[in-house]
Amino acid sequence: MDGESYIKSLACILAEREERSNGINGMLAVLFLVRRRADSWYAGDWIRAITAHNQFSSMVIKGDPETVWYPDSREPNFQKILQYIDGIYDGTTLDNLTNGALYYADLTSPAYNKGGWFDTHIANDPTNHPRTATVGSTTYFK
């Protein structure tokens, strides 16, 4: 395995951990978001985008139960993610799911922190962070 394959593997694990409840489109949407963050905030560095402080709890927050969950590589949706990752990673697959989002949250989740940082600075600031899409239960913002 080379370094690029390793990065793509981490991204696929992240997609499953974060959005498997929203099916293949949810997982694809989070991969598009990772690409956008890598390009916008980290000079194309996907590892920094995936492991940035407080960004993807399933990858970086100790105690999050998802940090010890790994997908079954035989699972059909994970197989699809593995087929799509090359085009998302290299930018040849266009983002027709999030429309350029940089942020996302399940606003209906009991775990969503109403009045917290995300709610105040992203979800309730449509001028600076308009909603761009909804995929399953997840809302995406610029």
The one-letter amino acid at 2: D
Look up residue 36 and give its amino acid.
R
124 Rama sector, left if φ>0, alpha if ψ -120 to 50, beta otherwise: alpha
For the chain, state the CA radius of gyration. Answer: 14
Assign 31 to helix, strand or coil.
Answer: helix
Instruction: List the structure tokens of 76.
Output: 């059909």
pLDDT digits (tens, 9 = 90+) for 109-142: 988 888 899 999 999 999 999 999 999 999 999 9
* pLDDT of amino acid 29: 98
pLDDT of residue 111: 83
40-52: b or e for each residue (b if 16 or more CB lie within 10 Å)?
eeeeeebeebbeb
Answer whether 16's CB lies under 8 Å from 78's CB.
yes
Q: Which of 63, 80, 74 has its CA nearest to residue 12?
A: 80
Question: Residues 58-72: what's their mean pLDDT?
Answer: 93
Using pLDDT thresholds of 50, 70 and 90, give the confidence band for residue 54.
Answer: confident
Global confidence as pTM: 0.95
Question: Strands, DSSP E only, in 18-128?
Answer: 103-105
The pLDDT-based confidence of 108 (bands split at 50, 70, 90) is very high
Q: If you average pLDDT over residues 81-100, what whole number do you get?
A: 97
Half-sphere exposure in the Cβ direction for 95 (13 Å, CA): 24
pLDDT of residue 72: 94
